[in-house]
Amino acid sequence: MPSFGPSSAMVGRDADLAGVFRAFEGAVEGTPAALLVEGEAGIGKSRLLREFAAHVADRADVHVGWCLDLGAARTPYGPLTGILRSLVSTVGVDEVREAVGVGAEALGMLLPELVPVPTDRERTSPERLRDAIATLIETAASRAPQVLIVEDLHWADESTLAILSFLLRTLTRGRVLLLLSCRSDDVRRGDAVSRFIAEATRARLLDRIALQRLGTDAVRALAEQITGHPLSEGALERVQERAEGVPFFVEEIAGCTAGPLPDGLRDILLGRFDRLGDDARRVVQVASGAERPLAHPLLARLAALGEERLDDALREAMGIGILVISDDLYRFRHALLREAVHADLLPGERSRLHRAYAETLEEYCDDTESGDAAALAYHWQLAQDERRALIAAVEAMRHAKARFAFGAAARFGELALDLWPQVPDAADAAEVSHLELLHALGSILRNAGDGERALAVANLALDEVDPVTIDPRLHARLLRNKALYLVNLGRPGAIPLLLQALAIVDERVDDDQLRAELLNQLASRRMIAGDRVEAIAIATEAAEAAERAQSDDQLSIAANVRGASRAHLGDIEGGIREYTLARDLARGSTAEMRYRVNYSDLLGLLGRYREALLLAEEGLARSRLFGVERTSGSIMTQNMVVPLLERGEITRVEELLARDFMQGTLRVFRMYATMTRVRVLAWRGRSAEAAEAMREWLPAFEETGAVERQIWYDRVVMAVAVAESAGDPRGALAAILAMIDDEGPVLLHQRRLLLQAGAIIAELRAAGDDVSEASRAVAAAWAAQSAQLRAGTWSVILDALLVPTAETLDEAIDLADGEDVPVTFRVVSRIERARMLVHAGDRAAAASLLADAETIADALGHVQLQAAVAGFATAAGLRAGGEDESALLTARERQVLALIAEGLSNRQIGERLFISVKTVSVHVSAVLRKLGVSTRTEAALAARASAVLS
């Protein structure tokens, strides 16, 4: 940790420091934590972190990185490179390579010393880079607690923020403490840093410590430490009046208490500078132009004073407290000092200084850490040399893109666009045409997650197109990209653009690979819109082009599209054959994850939940092999959520949603996650929150649902879940009946909704509603499916709910306990059978069945079903008038109670009954509740007293 700063002891920050230590102690115990230390300039954020780091240096590895002030365009991964290099130094290169595996190539893009030859971008991916960074941190944390400090977050680039956001959601275990400092008055509302802080805080991934100004007593203590003598009341009042409790200003003013105080903030900050000699002033002015700490060789070249004069000047600047040395680099004691000195330069002085920096970096870039494209763009822009700034900006864009720093690349691309009109020979200077620049920038923005700006750039490019003179391949790609951006935003218009691009390729471009890609994209859009027959025909044409191009990836994608289309047409066997072909063609390629995501989704729609989860879990294992477990693998994880929910694993679903890997992704992916979130909120009985989430996203669902049929169905799913959770079964049924009446294409998504209609109809029938017409409509919709879809478990359960008999409901109960039926129907079928038993006068059997339903509902934590069980029990009088509670015990609960009476533990009971300890715990809780007792001993006594065991 750097040892610069004032020698006085820190005052007034005991409570804040204690807060950091609390987070550290939790991290030492294995619970990662993240803290944002925020406050105005000069408030003492860095000082607090230095004090903390000094205290824990013997207990943890501390790694520090600084975000750099490069104006609007910022250095990619600014603070992370230094932190990663420090981590590698701690762990060791060989161990790092072994730990990150294939991710070493990706890390080599930031740390070239990790790889023997420069990393080929095509051989890695942004997903591998993020995964490798997380793995590196976890590896270090397995050796010792790790403290990662990111200073000056207000200057962070988007790529750094994306990595930090990813780490906050990924590092759920290990001895890691992430500390961020941020100058709150430099964070603009709505910018990337502001959004990062807001989202991380809202998701409870980041705690915040806001440093306040010092009180009078603390100001006195700090000032007297600096001056070395007590302050008079008058002197203290003058310090407090000017410094207003800001520690840095107190330090600057304290030495002036005996004489006149500076008039304003600028004068305060320049007070030390004005006392320097000429050489020291020059050195400090030169240093003020640097965007980062300066190495001695670079400073020597820029200052041009000779070694002895330079050394003397540096000693003077350090002696007066302006410059300090950190890790053999020169830097300002405080960023406010650098800003004040730089702002004091005349415009001509400032321009010449930055020209000198740029020229020196270009000439000696191999000898300095500052010699990168981002720094050159920054200095040439401030030197007001538009041509060379344009060249540097385009190079910086390419460099950032090559390192997957898409946010930073976008900033440099936009800077290049701004500079373009000011450079007469811009295309020659940048070695790229304006259209090619726009094409590249649109793709970069899309990868950065900014779909709106990507679309705006695509429109700008297409407005400039001259169909006669443009390269037809570029024209087709511009059209294809705009189509992709519209899809990402969930908006209509993609299909006409793809058709136009295909027409250009067919007429003017001999490229089967590009043609296969366009045809597959068009087939996908047709399939998602519900035009399944057309999708199959286009995908078949795509496969023919892919065959000629010898592209297994595109052949796999074509089979993938055909498989989904055939399945949604009702040809399940044909669809599965196509998916098998897609799998065989995709093995080990980028198309494999697409196959796994889409096929597991199909299995979920068919109610084959166990297979869907198995396929997804295998996909996760493959993503680990590819080094993308936390990124591309996270999409597979999200694909597991619906099968998990249908199987009743609600806690696991909530854990996945809490980690929210989809944060910051494009809108269409957020919509899928929103549908699941609404269902989970409804499941937990948080109906108001579910309704609010649906209202917030409803306009997006309606817009996208017009072109993506599955999103249209997701909107219906949300409406049903919200209505049921709010106690409005009629509204829920109305939404399903409206779905049945809709004239749009029918997809497999309707099956689960029709099954749910059976449960709702049963509830309304019990309440006295006439549901005959609704029953006929649902039965007709079910019967309209293909023969392959009409048979099976779901059909038996739906028939039993629509036309209940003792025999069909008993069979439904048995089937509902199977693996591939939504778990809620275990409760629904039992409630319906209990109703029939009550009407038949068999109250004991009804009570036993209802108790079983109650146990299941409680284990699921499904608030609506718990209420339904309780409501029916009360209405039927099964718990009133001294009804024997023990009659509500299920057969399994009676077995558990008998073993409790024997004095067995939960583990012993599980071994005796061949069930898990967790299941035993659920049964024990149910027994205690139903018997109205609080301990196992009381349960055993109550059982003997009521002769339950006889």
First to last CA, the chain: 73
Residue 581 CA, distance from chain mean position: 33
Strands 329-332 and 146-151: unpaired
Residue 327 amino acid letter = D
Structure tokens at 645: 């929910």
Q: Are 642 and 713 in contact (CB under 8 A)?
A: no
Structure tokens at 596: 């796994």
Query: How is 349-364 classified by DSSP, letter by letter?
Result: HHHHHHHHHHHHHHHH
583 by DSSP, 3-state: which?
helix
Q: In 10 A of CB 699, how many CB atoms?
A: 9
According to the model, what pLDDT value does residue 208 have?
A: 92
Quote the Cα angle for 644-647-648, to 5°: 90
Strands 207-210 and 33-39: parallel
Q: Looking up tokens 């701004």, which residue turns up?
A: 418
Strands 207-210 and 323-326: unpaired
Q: What is the DSSP letter of 294?
A: B
Q: Looking up tokens 């679903």, which residue turns up?
A: 653
What is the torsional sign of CA 459, 461, 467, 473?
A: negative
Q: Looking up tokens 């300090």, which residue turns up?
A: 324
Q: What's the average pLDDT block by block, 10 residues per block, for the chain (950 residues)?
A: 49 89 92 91 88 93 86 76 92 89 84 77 75 90 94 88 88 90 78 86 87 83 76 72 75 62 64 87 92 86 90 91 85 84 90 92 58 81 93 91 86 93 94 95 88 93 92 95 91 95 95 96 94 96 96 95 95 95 83 85 93 82 52 61 92 76 59 89 93 93 90 96 95 97 95 97 94 96 94 94 96 92 96 93 89 92 92 75 52 82 82 73 82 76 55
Distance, in Å, from the CA atom of 830 to the CA atom of 847, rounded to the nearest integer, reads 11
Torsion from C-alpha of 602, 605, 610, 614, nearest 10 degrees: 30
Q: Are 340 and 266 in contact (CB under 8 A)?
A: yes
Counting every residue written for the chain, the total comes to 950
Query: How is 729-776 classified by DSSP, letter by letter?
Result: HHHHHHHHHHHHH--SPP-TTHHHHHHHHHHHHHHHHHTT---HHHHH
According to the model, what pLDDT value does residue 237 have?
A: 73
Instruction: Specify which residues 210 forms β-bridges with.
Output: 38
Distance, in Å, from the CA atom of 203 to the CA atom of 687, rounded to the nearest integer, reads 20
Residue 64 has φ and ψ, to the nearest 5°, of -125, 135
Q: In 10 A of CB 528, how many CB atoms?
A: 22
Structure tokens at 689: 């929150």
Distances (CA, A) of 890 to 852, 905, 935: 6, 20, 19
Q: In 10 A of CB 96, how many CB atoms?
A: 24
Residue 793 amino acid letter = T
According to the model, what pLDDT value does residue 628 have?
A: 45
Q: What is the DSSP letter of 41?
A: T
Instruction: Specify which residues 63 forms β-bridges with.
Output: 148
Distance, in Å, from the CA atom of 697 to the CA atom of 670, rounded to the nearest integer, reads 10
According to the model, what pLDDT value does residue 774 have?
A: 97
Structure tokens at 825: 């129907």
Quote the Cα angle for 389-395-396, to 5°: 85
Structure tokens at 907: 């583990």
Distance, in Å, from the CA atom of 222 to the CA atom of 143, rounded to the nearest integer, reads 39
Q: Are 696 and 661 in contact (CB under 8 A)?
A: no
Structure tokens at 524: 């996908």
Name every residue whose Cβ is closer than 8 Å to that of residue 284 and which is 6 or more positions away in sequence.
273, 276, 317, 322, 323, 341
CA atoms within 13 A on the CB side of 793: 18
pTM: 0.74
Query: How is 3-23 classified by DSSP, letter by letter?
Result: --S-SSPP-S-HHHHHHHHHH
Instruction: Specify which residues 294 forms β-bridges with.
Output: 330
Q: In 10 A of CB 3, how many CB atoms?
A: 9
Short-list 553, 552, 576, 546, CA closest to 564: 576
Q: In 10 A of CB 621, how many CB atoms?
A: 10
Q: In 10 A of CB 753, how many CB atoms?
A: 19
Short-list 324, 332, 226, 223, CA closest to 285: 332
Distance, in Å, from the CA atom of 191 to the CA atom of 824, rounded to the nearest integer, reads 44
According to the model, what pLDDT value does residue 561 have?
A: 96
According to the model, what pLDDT value does residue 805 have?
A: 95
